[in-house]
Structure 1
């Protein structure tokens, strides 16, 4: 019996799924999503700490709602990011018979989710914004992906979360289709 013959939670599910899956695409996603999930968790904790520091001594109400909003938005990004790994780990632990394309399909959906988060961030960028008292314009699209970036810029910033939502739904649909 090895160290990762089973798992007991999120952190141990990663090495378990990585070791049990035969898909190279999935193994690469497990590595990438593990790094991104750790980075994202660090950034969310830092953001909440900065928010708490900036609102120290303030009364509840709207500020309490904004603190909760940070956590909820964080979960809507974090859960679909780690879901493919958790689902594959669960499948292998239970020896559930599934389509042979299950692991690669979840990895592909996971990668598309990561791209949807990036696309949502690009789409949400305003034409101009102020940073350190200086007004800055968003960069002009250039290079091979200029048409894609231009299309993302044309999406209203209010609608940009729909890109991330679509990516999350894609992970769920891949799970349902190939299980």
Structure 2
């Protein structure tokens, strides 16, 4: 739609409004280019790589699960597995999507919004690892072979020993708290 000056109005032309990026995949390069925070730019790269890795791991595991439950018409395990994968990937990409959206729409945010989301994103990725360590059983069977978790060693042995000592339910709680942190930082810094 043309205005009185003959120029296109960017608020009514959908191509002009969405020109900045097209969906999730376009949000990553857009957020990288639009951000002023080097910490956030580093998270765009690391968070994107982690999201791709998580997506591949869950997709391959889901294919294996389909093979193991062949013949089952509907399996609650399959649906639950998909939701767990989504719960791992969504908070990983949320900081990038939030910054891309706020930059595209021209929202003014408090100073440190992008850096705060980057820190929250890094802490979420760390919480995924800590949750895996805390939730690892002492021994489990994989392809008919009994596997025991390795003993804590190295400079982080006290931290690993502490995580091993926690109940396995805490393994789920740590990433949930990390995901909540992303939302809290967005809400507080907007």
Q: Same fold (TM over 0.5)?
A: yes
Q: Deviations over 1:122-145 (max 9, x none)?
A: 011111222343333211111221
Instruction: Report SS of the residue matched to 1:129.
Output: strand
Instruction: Report SS of the residue matched to 2:134.
Output: helix
Q: TM-score, length-normalised on structure 2?
A: 0.87
The question of 1:13 aligning with 2:27 is answered: yes
Could you tell me which residue of structure 1 aligns to residue 59 of structure 2? 45
The question of 1:27 aligning with 2:38 is answered: no
> What is the CA-CA distance between 1:158 and the residue it aligns to?
2.3
- Unaligned stretches of 5+ residues in structure 2: 1-17
The answer to whether the 8 Å contact 1:5/1:16 transfers is no
Q: Distance in 1 between matches of 2:126 and 2:160?
A: 13
Instruction: Report SS of the residue matched to 1:160.
Output: helix
CA RMSD of aligned residues (A): 1.4
> What is the CA-CA distance between 1:54 and the residue it aligns to?
1.4
> What is the CA-CA distance between 1:121 and the residue it aligns to?
0.3
Q: Distance in 2 between matches of 1:135 and 1:66?
A: 23
Q: Distance in 2 between matches of 1:176 and 1:58?
A: 42
Q: TM-score, length-normalised on structure 1?
A: 0.92
Count matched residues. Answer: 173
Could you tell me which residue of structure 2 aligns to residue 99 of structure 1? 110
Could you tell me which residue of structure 1 aligns to residue 68 of structure 2? 54
> What is the CA-CA distance between 1:72 and the residue it aligns to?
0.7
The question of 1:110 aligning with 2:121 is answered: yes
- Unaligned stretches of 5+ residues in structure 1: none
Q: Which has the higher Rg, Structure 1 or Structure 2?
A: 2
The answer to whether the 8 Å contact 1:10/1:86 transfers is yes
